[in-house]
Structure 1
Amino acid sequence: MQAIQIIHPGAAEVLQLTERPVPTAGPGEVLIKVAAAGVNRPDVFQRQGNYAPPPGASDLPGLEVSGSLLEGDFSGDNPFGLEPGDAVCALLTGGGYAEYAVAPLAQCLPVPAGLSLVEAAALPENYFTVWSNVFERGQLGRGEGGAAETLLVQGGSSGIGVTAIQLARAFGHRVFATAGNADKCAACERLGAERAINYREEDFVAVLKQATAGRGVDVILDMVAGDYVPREIDCLAEGGRLVFIATLGGSKAAIDAGVLMRRRLTLTGSTLRARPVAFKGAIARQLHAKVWPLLAAGRLRPVIHQVFPAAEAARAHALMESSEHIGKLMLQW
C-alpha cells in the first residue's frame, strides 16, 4: 500500500510518500480501506519529534480515518452491528495516513446519514475529544450553573473549536470563543458562538465579565494554558471548570489555590491517544446515541477548510502550522 511516513523529525517536508505492507488486524480489530484521513495538531507534534506514538501503535501519523470495512474480528464488542463492506469512520492511535489502516472495532462508527466519506473522516478525533472533555470532564450542563450553562472555547476556529461551538449550542448552552482575526471570529459566530473575541485586540476576561453581568463562564475548553491560566480562573463563574487539552502557550502556570477553594473551581484535563480501547469505545457509544442523530439531521456539520491529495500531506501540515485555516484539513486517497 501507499502511505505517508515521517522520514525523520523536522519540517513539513519530512512527510514523504512510501510503500508499506498492508497491516494485519489483530484480536478485536478490523482492517479499513481508507478513503480519507483528518490532519490534526498532534500529527504535527509527532512529525516534529515531540509526540511519540504509544507502545504498539503504528509509526505512521494519522488519528482518524473513514472508509470501508474489509475484514477482521467482528466477534467481540460490536455495538453498532458493523459488517465487512460497511462505511465507517474510526479513531486510531496512528497509521491513518495510509491506503489501509487497522482500528479497534469498538472505535469504529457508522458514517452518519447524509455525510460524505471525507466529512466522516473529520469527525472522530474532534468529537471524541470534545465529548470527553467538555461534557464529561467539564460537566457542561451538570454543574452549578444548571441545565443551560456557558462555555468559552479558546481557539474557536480550530477543528476542535468549531466542533465544541456547534455541540454546545446544539445542547442549548451559551457559547463564547476566542480567535485570532476578524474572519475567524465571524466564522465562530456563524457556527453559534454568541460572541467571538479577537484575542489580539480585546481582553477576553473583560468581554466575558460584561457579557455575563459579572458572573463569568461555567466551563472553559483551553488549548493554550501557560499565562492564560490565571486570567481564565478570573473569568470562571462560581463552581466553574477549566479543562486543558493542549499547552500551546506553555505547560506551567502560577495559580492562587485560595481562589480555587473559595470559589469551588475545578482544573482538569486529559489526553486521548493513549487511553484504553474500552474507554474510547464507551465514548463511541455515547456519540452514536446522542450526537450521530444530530449529524444525520443536519444540526451539526463538520467544517472542512481544504482537502488535499494524500500525497500532498506536507502542504496540509504547512497550512496547519500557519494557522490560517478555519476548521479541518483533510487528506484523500
Structure 2
Amino acid sequence: MRAITLTEHGGPDVLTVSEIPSPTARPGSVVVDVHTAGLNRADLLQRQGHYNPPAGANTEHEVPGLEVSGTISSIGDGVTDWAVGDRVAALLAEGGYAEQVEVPAGQLLAVPDGFSLAEAAALPEVLCTVHSNVFTAAGLAPGEWLLVHGGGSGIGTAAIQMAKSHGAKVAVTVGSDRKGDFCRDLGADAVINYKEEDFVERIREITGDGDTPGDGADVILDVVGAKYLDRNIKALAVDGRLTIIGLQGGVKAEANLGRMLPRRLTVMATTLRARPEAQKARIVADVAQTFWQEAMNGGIKPIVDSEFPLADAAQAHARMEAGENIGKILLSVAADG
C-alpha cells in the first residue's frame, strides 16, 4: 500500500510517499481502508523528532497520522460489534497517512450513511481530546467560563462548539481578526487577539461586571505550555483548572505555588496518544454516546480548512506550520464513498 513515511526527521520535505506492506487485523482489531486522514499538530512534532510513537508502534516504517475515516475491510478474531463494509472513523496511535491502517476495535466510531467520510475524519482526535480534558479531567460545568488558546485551530473550533452545547461560556485567543471573526460566528462569547492584548487582563474584564474585573476563567485549555504557564495561573478564577495539551511554547517553566494554594488551583498536563488502549476505548465510548452523536446529527460541525492529496502531505504540513488554517487540514486518500 501507499503511505507517507518518515525516514528521517526535519522539515515537511522529509515526508515521503512509500510502498510498504499492508496491515493485517490482529485479534481485537480491524483493518480500515482509509478514505481521509486528519492532520494534527502532534504530526508536525513527530516529523521534527519531538514526539516519538508510543511503545508497540511500527518500528520498520514510521507513518504519522492520529485519525482517519474509511471502510472496514477485514476483522480480527474476537471482534463482534463491527462488520466488513462498515463506515467508520477512528482514533489512532499512528499510521493514518496510508491507504490502510489497523485499528483496535474499541477506537472506532460509526459513521452513518449520508454523513461525509471526509468530514468524519476531522472529528475523532478533537472530540476525544476536548472531552477527556475539558469535561472529564477539568469538569467544565454549565455557566462556567472556558478560555481556549488557539481558538481557530481544529481543537479550538471543536472546543467552542462543545462547550457552548454544554451551556458554558467561551473565550478564545487568536492571532488574527480573520480567525477572531470566525470564532465569533461559531459561537465564542469573547475573542482575545493575543498579539494586541494581554489575555490575563482581558479574561478578567470579560468575566467581570462593567468596571469591576472578574475572577478569570474557570477552565483553561492550553496548547502553548511553558511560555503561558505563569499567565495562565494568573488568569484562573478561584478553584480554576488548567489543562495543558501542547508544548508549542516550551517544556520548562516555574510556577508560583503561593499564588495557587490560596486560590485552590489545579494544573494538569495530558496527552491522548500515549494512553493505554483500554483508556482510549473508554474515552471513545463516552464520546460515541455524547458529542459524536451530536456531530452526526448536525449539532457540532466539523470545521475543515482544506484538503490535500496524500502525496501532498508536505504542503499540508507547511500550511499548518505557518498557522494559516482555521479548523482541520485533511489528507484525501481515496475518492468519495
TM-score normalised by L of structure 2 = 0.94
Q: Distance in 2 between matches of 1:151 and 1:25?
A: 41
Superposed CA deviations along residues 175-233 of structure 1, whole A, max 9, x for unmatched, are 00001010011111111111111100011111111111112110000011223111111
Partner in structure 2 of residue 158 of structure 1: 153
Q: How many residues of Structure 1 are paired with residues of Structure 2 in the alignment?
A: 325
Partner in structure 2 of residue 227 of structure 1: 227
Partner in structure 2 of residue 37 of structure 1: 37
Structure 1 runs, 4 residues or longer, greater than 4 Å off:
none
Partner in structure 2 of residue 252 of structure 1: 252
2:261 counterpart SS class: helix
Matched, 1:109 2:109: yes
1:247 counterpart SS class: coil
2:173 counterpart SS class: strand
Q: Which residue type is aligned with residue 285 of structure 1?
A: A
Partner in structure 1 of residue 190 of structure 2: 195
Q: CA deviation at 1:49?
A: 1.3
Q: Distance in 2 between matches of 1:92 and 1:276?
A: 12
Q: Which residue type is aligned with residue 85 of structure 2?
A: G
Contact 2:87 2:112 in 1 (8 A): no
Gaps of at least 5 residues in structure 2 are: 209-213
Gaps of at least 5 residues in structure 1 are: 142-146
Partner in structure 2 of residue 286 of structure 1: 286
Superposed CA deviations along residues 99-138 of structure 1, whole A, max 9, x for unmatched, are 0100100000101565311111111111111111111111
RMSD of Structure 2 on Structure 1 (CA): 1.2
Partner in structure 1 of residue 211 of structure 2: none
Partner in structure 2 of residue 177 of structure 1: 172
Partner in structure 1 of residue 301 of structure 2: 301
Q: CA deviation at 1:148?
A: 2.1
Q: Distance in 2 between matches of 1:175 and 1:99?
A: 38
Contact 1:197 1:204 in 2 (8 A): yes
Q: CA deviation at 1:74?
A: 5.9
Partner in structure 2 of residue 75 of structure 1: 78
Q: CA deviation at 1:7?
A: 2.4
Q: Distance in 2 between matches of 1:74 and 1:326?
A: 41
Contact 2:75 2:83 in 1 (8 A): no
Q: Which residue type is aligned with residue 148 of structure 1?
A: G
Partner in structure 2 of residue 62 of structure 1: 65
Q: Distance in 1 between matches of 2:226 and 2:54?
A: 25
Partner in structure 2 of residue 144 of structure 1: none
Matched, 1:186 2:181: yes
Contact 2:27 2:77 in 1 (8 A): no
Contact 1:216 1:236 in 2 (8 A): yes
Q: Distance in 2 between matches of 1:224 and 1:282?
A: 27
Q: Distance in 2 between matches of 1:332 and 1:29?
A: 23
Matched, 1:139 2:139: yes
Contact 2:26 2:77 in 1 (8 A): no
* Equivalent runs, 1:256-267 vs 2, <5 Å: 256-267=256-267
Superposed CA deviations along residues 26-79 of structure 1, whole A, max 9, x for unmatched, are 111100000000011111111111111112213211111100011122625x6x
TM-score normalised by L of structure 1 = 0.95
Contact 1:133 1:269 in 2 (8 A): no
Q: CA deviation at 1:164?
A: 0.8
Q: CA deviation at 1:244?
A: 0.3
Bigger shift: residues 34-43 or 285-294: 285-294
Q: CA deviation at 1:261?
A: 1.1
Q: Distance in 1 between matches of 2:10 and 2:200?
A: 37
Q: Percent identity?
A: 47
**Is the alpha carbon distance of 1:112 and 1:267 closer, same or farther for their aligned partners in structure 2, counting shifts above 3 Å?**
farther
Superposed CA deviations along residues 294-326 of structure 1, whole A, max 9, x for unmatched, are 112211011100000111101001111101111
Partner in structure 1 of residue 238 of structure 2: 238
Q: Distance in 2 between matches of 1:228 and 1:33?
A: 40
Q: Distance in 2 between matches of 1:114 and 1:74?
A: 30
Partner in structure 1 of residue 327 of structure 2: 327
Q: Which residue type is aligned with residue 255 of structure 1?
A: A
Bigger shift: residues 52-61 or 182-191: 52-61
Q: Which residue type is aligned with residue 149 of structure 1?
A: E
Partner in structure 2 of residue 218 of structure 1: 218
1:17 counterpart SS class: strand
